[in-house]
Amino acid sequence: MSDLLAHVEAVWQAVVPDLPGFTVEVLPSIDSTNTELMRRARAGAMEPVLLAAEEQTAGRGRLGKAWHSRAGQSLTFSLALPLAPADWSGLSLAVGVSLAQSLHPDVQLKWPNDLWLHGRKLGGILVETASNGTESAGPRRLVVIGVGINIARPEAAAVSALASPGAALPPVPPAGLAEVLVGLTAGEVLERVAPALVRDVLAFESQGFAAFAQRFAQRDALHGRAVQLTDGTQGSACGVNEQGALLVLTDQGMRTINSSEVSVRPC
């Protein structure tokens, strides 16, 4: 039995009381767990499911970036839930808060969707939504939350090779959870983070980002730091607003940055 499969039952038992109908699947290899759940959503599947993979051959990140994933060296999974929040803004930040608090006190959040450990990238989050177009679904859409967490620290050269050609900002050096939690396996990490993630996403549905704002601020890796945007603009990161948008104080005044617009790096 694989490491991930050994922890499936414990994850299911912890989640199903809060989420009836929930299932957990593990695949040895797939192109992308997010891509697979989005395919299912377009075919009409709206049931809550967590899909984990020992290996992803075409993992995806925000803005089309690739994600480095090797069997046994990382945890990659996607969580699909039907949701109908009043406002979707800040969901990726709420997900990041949940994961960081489940992982380790040293894990910080680099807006909008990265987990950082000691100033280096530990993991990433990709949030997508889909609707099957049927009236029976009502106002709910299926949200697919993809998570990638390095267990071992990847080789920097492997991460650099996945960088988008001509990218305005260089890739962040990688980190691995084994640096602070020696011996923890991908399956153990999944059991550690998945139940809390489901509870927090359901809390986001009912309470929005406001319920996570203070928790995010406590783990905000950019607050008070000089940052540079993709377009070359520099300024000082000043936290996020009520919708989770990044606030950057520039020479031209305060600028509100949405995750769909730019990437951000500390200077």
Q: Which residues are catalytic?
A: 62, 121, 265
Give the residue from 64, 53, 58 showing the smallest Cα distance to 25.
Answer: 53
For residues 247 and 262, give the distance between their C-alpha atoms in angstroms, rounded to a whole number. 13
Residue 212 neighbours by CB under 8 Å, 6+ apart: 90, 93, 94, 97, 200, 204
> In 3-state terms, what secondary structure has residue 246?
strand
- Distance in Å from the first CA to the final CA of the chain: 46
**Type and span of the H or E element at 82:** strand 74-83
Q: From edge to edge, which strands make up the β-sheet containing 23-27?
A: 23-27, 49-53, 74-83, 141-150, 120-130, 114-117, 107-110
